[in-house]
Each structure stands twice: as structure tokens, then as C-alpha cells.
Amino acid sequence: MSGDPLFARVATALANRYVVERELGHGGMATVYLARDVALGRAVAIKVLPPTTREYLGGERFTRETQIAAQLSHPHIVPLFEAGEAEGILFYVMGYVEGESLQDRLAREGALPLEESVRLIAEVADALAYAHEHGVIHRDIKPANVLLAGGHALVADFGIAKPFGEAAGGGGGESLTGTGVAVGTAEYMSPEQATGDKHLDARSDVYALAALLYEMLTSEPPFTGPTVQAVIARILTEAPRPIRTIRPAVPPHVEAAVLQGLAKVAADRPPSARAFVDLLTRPTAERPVRPGRRRAWIVLGTLAAVAVPVAAAVLYFAGRHARPVGMLLVPAGDYLVGGTAGRDTGRVHLNAFYIDSTEVTAGAYAPFVRSGGAPSPYQRQRATDWPVTGVLWAEAQQFCAWRLPGGRLPTEDEWEAAARGSGGRRYPWGDTWAPSRANVAGATDTLAPVGSFPLGASWVHAVDLIGNAWEWTATPAGSGRHVIKGGAFNTQQPNATVANRVPASDDRRQLWNTGFRCARGPQ
């Protein structure tokens, strides 16, 4: 470790009290070292925060907030002994647990036995219930923060605590967890946490507890994806796959309890960690849900967290709004766009929106024509599952508005965000060309039914963004033209990128290889 500059800094800064021995692990938000407490002769784990966190929090505030977590004393909570700042380094000292994390166990064994899973979850729930009774929520429950020792579970990373009222303007400055930033680990975040809602309570931890048990029983979290934003999009809009379709031996009441814990709306979940365990262990119990009084909660779990830009508004629609059929949610965030002639590469911030998962088909367009809409000159020549083409720009706009409230064509930036994600990939599936993933020149030499190339799906699972048919956007290109994107079945591969753009005349019926897909904002 002598070559590690951070190790040397930590060892020197804490030499009066601790002998730092070796690194236990590190991530983007912290590094953990094994050390020996010289005064008490015990092994401890020292977690060191990166300089960016120090700049954000400040040493005095960090110490004040960790003092709250240090007051928690429970047999299933890893104790927090000390926190402070030394020579510009923010650190806190925890008990050292000889064992392994639940993350390591799952990686090694996959799904765990049912009885053991429920028992371990009950221990985690007991720790959380104790914290909740003391006005504290963890907000980063995940396999890495559950340690296993002697056959029992201990919850770690009760690290930074913040009186929640400060975020509302109580003089505490900006909050690490204020509205507009989701803090936590994406796969285990509740919908309200994923959207940056600052009014969280115990039910957010209940969601994470259910997600944890789901993974223990199936070996996978309820929602996964190639990026944080893709995971959040699925959390906000999709139902988790029923556990018994993956592991049929799981009792129906256990599956029902987990799925209730994963409810999109907090009010639909068990109201407490103990109530969640009751559902797991007492299938016939019927307990009335009593609304509790509102209280000030303390938010924890910011140390090992990732910060994800999201919309300030709640963008999930369960209970109050339905996700438009056939559409996918693209979360609010910053997206890389451009990178072709006439359009420099740059980042844009977009509000959340929905976009069709496929190009509009001839079959979907037909009812619009029957209601008085303009027909496509190629309508009779197209199978119902082929994209409708030859539609003028204004007619495409009219169809989208006719089909659903607020319906419209996507802007070029929105189209690219749905195709590229925040990383600005060259193709919807990544940065390397794969001929089997798109209907471009040399693939079929004609239009194909939408969705014929599922391996070419984008990060939000939209298909045919490259190839098949060009697609109208709402972005003007001057002189009665609008930008079309994506290429068509006769586009040569070098031009088949998500950045490529072509100005097309709004009133040319000859665009026989140009179709469209619709978009809309959250209603």
C-alpha cells in the first residue's frame, strides 16, 4: 500500500489514534480501510470520502450529520464509532465485521434458499424498523451494505445523517438529497427516490427491502439495464417479473408480499419494515393500514451513493396516470447529441418524455384515415405491421395529436436521447457496427415489419431507430423542411448512425421510405 497516495495520507492523518493496515475496498464514492484502534485494541473499518464530498458538505456539517447515525445501537446495525475531518480528509469509523457482504454471497451462489432469505431479510427489517423509530431512513439498502457474519445480517453504511427539514430551507445550505437529484443505488431505489423527491419516509426503505429479497430469491434485482437512466426508466414504468415465473417453488404469499413492497406508489406498500415481514411470515394475517402522522425523517446512505439527474416532478404514473400504450419513458437528464455535418456535438438537458417503441405501423394509421385523416399513397401496398410511409410532415403531426392527448413528433434532440442515452453512443446498441441489428442496405432490401431487428434496441428498448424507415422529427430545417433521422432499409452503413440527419421537404409525397414515431410529455 506504500504506493497508494490516499492510503499514505489517511495513515498519516489518523496516526494518533489508528494504525491503518490495508484497503478493504473502494468505489466511486468512498474507500474503506482496515485499521486498528490503538487506544481500545480493536479492529475497525475506516471509510474515507473523496475530496468532492468534502467540498460539498464541509467538515463541520459532515461531523454534525454523522453524529446522528452514531446514536443508533442495534444488534443488526454495524456501529458507527467516530466521524470527523483530519488534514482535509473526511472519514468515519465503523465496527469491522469478519465475514462477507450479501453482494459477495449472491455473486458466488446466485439465488439463496427461501428460509434463509426470509430470515436474513427479517433481521435487516428489524434494524431498519429500529432506525425508523428513531426518525432515520437509510436510503441505500443494497447487497453491498448488508454484511453476513456468523449466519446473521448486519446493516452497514448508516453513514451521513441529515435532518430532513434542512433541505426545505432551514439554513443548512444545499442538500445532497434535494429535489432534482436522486441519491442511492439505482436498482434498489423506490420510484419517489428515483425522481429526487425529498419527502421520503420508511416506505422508501421498504421498497429497497423488497428489491433485496427479490434478488435473493431470483439472483437478479427487479429491474436492470445498461445505464442508471435505463434502470430508472424501468422502475418508473414497468412491473417486475413475477417471482414464481422464475422460481415456481416460492410460496404465493411471499411473492405477493415482495410485489406489494415494490409498488410504484408508496401508499400501496406495507407501511413499515415490520409490516413487510408480517406479510412474508403470516400469509393469512389481515392488518388494517393506518395512516401515520407525518414526522421529520433523517436521510442516510449518501456515502456510497450515485447522484442521477432526474425531473423534479414525480414521473411515474401508477395509480393516477397510465403509461401510454406502446410508449417508453425517457427520463429527464443531460444527453449527448449531434456530431455530424451542420450539428456540433454537445449536451442538452431534456425533460422527461415518452416515445413510441416502434415506428407507427400501417395498421395503426388506418383508423386515422377512416376518421378523416389523410391516407398514405402506399397504404394499400403495406402489410399492417410495416411502418406507414409517404406521410407528409403535417399529417404525421396530426396523427400523433389524434392518437393521444399531447401527442406530437419528437424533436431531434429527443429522438437522439431515446437512441443514444446519456453516453452518446454511435448506434442504439453501442459504438460498434453490427449488421444483424438494423434493416439497412444489404439486410432485406425492403421495409420489414417493425421490431424485426430486436437486437438493435436502444437503452430504453426502442427498436428500428436505425434503418427500416427514415423518421420525421419536429425540428425545423428551414425553407419548409424538417429533419428526418435514422436512415432506411436502403441507407448505406456509413450513414446509418444516430447522429446522421437529413433536411426533408414537408410536402413531398415521394418520401416513400420515410415514416415516423410519436412522442408526448408526461401528462
The answer to whether residue 140 is catalytic is: yes
How far apart are the C-alpha atoms of 21 and 19, rounded to whole Å?
6
**Shortest CA distance to 217 belongs to which of 262, 186, 185, 184?**
262
How far apart are the C-alpha atoms of 203 and 97, rounded to whole Å?
28
6 backbone dihedrals φ, ψ, rounded to 5°: -70, -40
How far apart are the C-alpha atoms of 71 and 415, rounded to whole Å?
50
Can you give the pLDDT at residue 28? 57
Q: Which residues of 303-324 are buried (b: 16+ CB within 10 A; e: fewer)?
A: bbbeebbbbeebbbbeeeeebb
**Shortest CA distance to 131 belongs to which of 299, 336, 243?**
299
Looking at the chain, the number of H-run helices and the number of E-run strands are 14, 22
Q: For 211-270, how does the pLDDT look when each residue is reduced to its tens digit (9 = 90+)?
A: 999 999 999 999 998 877 788 888 888 889 999 999 999 999 999 999 999 999 899 999
Does residue 115 contact residue 156 with C-beta atoms inside 8 Å? no
How far apart are the C-alpha atoms of 88 and 482, rounded to whole Å?
54
Can you give the pLDDT at residue 293? 40
Q: Which of 4, 37, 126, 140 is catalytic?
A: 140
CB atoms within 10 A of CB 432: 9
How far apart are the C-alpha atoms of 255 and 263, rounded to whole Å?
13
How far apart are the C-alpha atoms of 357 and 431, rounded to whole Å?
21
Can you give the pLDDT at residue 272? 95
Tell me if residue 120 falls in helix, strand or coil. helix
Can you give the pLDDT at residue 379? 65
CA distances from 396 to 64, 105, 162, 405, 484 (A): 58, 53, 50, 15, 12
Can you give the pLDDT at residue 491? 92
Tell me if residue 184 falls in helix, strand or coil. strand
Does residue 35 contact residue 109 with C-beta atoms inside 8 Å? no
Does residue 439 contact residue 468 with C-beta atoms inside 8 Å? yes
194-197 long-range contacts, CB within 8 A, separation 24+:
194/232, 194/235, 194/236, 194/308, 194/310, 195/236, 195/310, 195/311, 195/312, 195/313, 195/314, 195/315, 195/316, 196/310, 196/311, 196/312, 197/314
Query: Which residues, in sequence order, are CB contacts of 456 under 8 Å at separation 6+?
Result: 427, 428, 429, 434, 437, 438, 463, 464, 465, 466, 467
Can you give the pLDDT at residue 20? 95
Q: For 429-440, how does the pLDDT look when each residue is reduced to its tens digit (9 = 90+)?
A: 888 998 889 999
The structural domains of the chain, ordered by start, are 5-95 (3.30.200.20), 100-309 (1.10.510.10), 327-520 (3.90.1580.10)
pLDDT, averaged per 10 consecutive residues of the chain (523 residues), comes to 77 93 79 92 88 59 67 86 84 89 95 96 94 87 92 80 36 32 73 80 96 98 86 86 94 94 92 94 52 47 37 30 68 87 82 92 90 83 82 95 94 95 87 89 85 86 92 94 94 90 84 91 78
515 backbone dihedrals φ, ψ, rounded to 5°: -120, -145
How far apart are the C-alpha atoms of 451 and 400, rounded to whole Å?
20
DSSP single-letter state for residue 271: S
Tell me if residue 59 falls in helix, strand or coil. helix
